[in-house]
């Protein structure tokens, strides 16, 4: 079932979500919720969806970055973003650790801020521990765009949106981004928008 994606301004997007119990993880309700989230993410389309985005304040996210989505980028952009396919996965009660190291800035969007984008700095490496849909332990050491997706989706579980982390001068409608900035390097965009 395709669910309604909540938009910025709705309280559920600004609240801390609660962890799921082992009993809940194994319930029919959560199995059905995961399948509906998967269908909703594909329909949007997006590369990730957190339960708060469909109005459910639980620590549950689904992620999938398909080869088809990556093919919409130029080969140079895919390499620059370190973007590689990520098979469908479920993360429950994830704990994110960001090791010291590099950060990267790229335009980022969100299904809960439909039609907008901005430059967002994110760590290029993350460590995540949590559970999958079978209540089995999952450990992920991710880099590049995969690390960005994980940070973005786990932020949702704590009421954080990318607009809280963005370069505010870069905030733009998706139409203007595609028309003006899409093929420009982030450094060039930042320089142009710096006002200097």
Which of 64, 108, 133, 153 is catalytic? The answer is 153
Q: What is the pLDDT of residues 36-52, one digit of tens each?
A: 999 999 999 999 999 99
Name the burial class of residue 151, with classes exposed (0-12), middle (13-18) and buried (19+) by CB atoms within 10 angstroms of its CB.
Answer: buried
- pLDDT surpassing 80 at residue 196: no
Give the domain ranges of the chain. 11-193
Contact 58, 40 (CB under 8 A): no
DSSP secondary structure, 87-113, as one string? EEEEEEEEEEE--SS-EEEEEEE-TTS
- pTM of the full structure: 0.96
Q: Name the fold adopted by 11-193.
A: Peptide Deformylase (3.90.45)
Catalytic: 153?
yes
pLDDT for 150: 98
Residues 127-144: what's their mean pLDDT? Answer: 98
């Amino acid at each position: 079932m395709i669910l309604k994606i909540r938009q910025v301004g709705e309280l559920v997007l600004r609240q801390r979500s609660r962890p799921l119990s082992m009993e809940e993880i194994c319930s029919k309700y959560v199995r059905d919720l995961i399948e509906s989230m998967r269908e909703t993410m594909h329909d949007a389309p997006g590369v990730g969806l957190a339960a708060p985005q469909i109005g459910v304040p639980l620590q549950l996210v689904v992620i999938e970055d398909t080869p088809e989505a990556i093919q919409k980028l130029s080969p140079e952009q895919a390499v620059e973003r370190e973007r590689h396919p990520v098979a469908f996965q479920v993360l429950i009660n994830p704990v994110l650790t960001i090791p010291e190291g590099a950060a990267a800035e790229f335009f980022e969007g969100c299904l809960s801020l439909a039609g907008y984008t901005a430059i967002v700095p994110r760590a290029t490496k993350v460590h995540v521990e949590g559970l999958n849909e079978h209540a089995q332990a999952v450990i992920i050491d991710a880099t590049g765009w995969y690390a960005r997706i994980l940070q973005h989706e786990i932020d949702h579980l704590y009421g954080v949106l990318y607009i809280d982390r963005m370069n505010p001068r870069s905030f733009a409608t998706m139409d203007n981004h595609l028309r003006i900035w899409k093929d420009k390097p982030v450094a060039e965009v930042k320089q142009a928008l710096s006002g200097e």
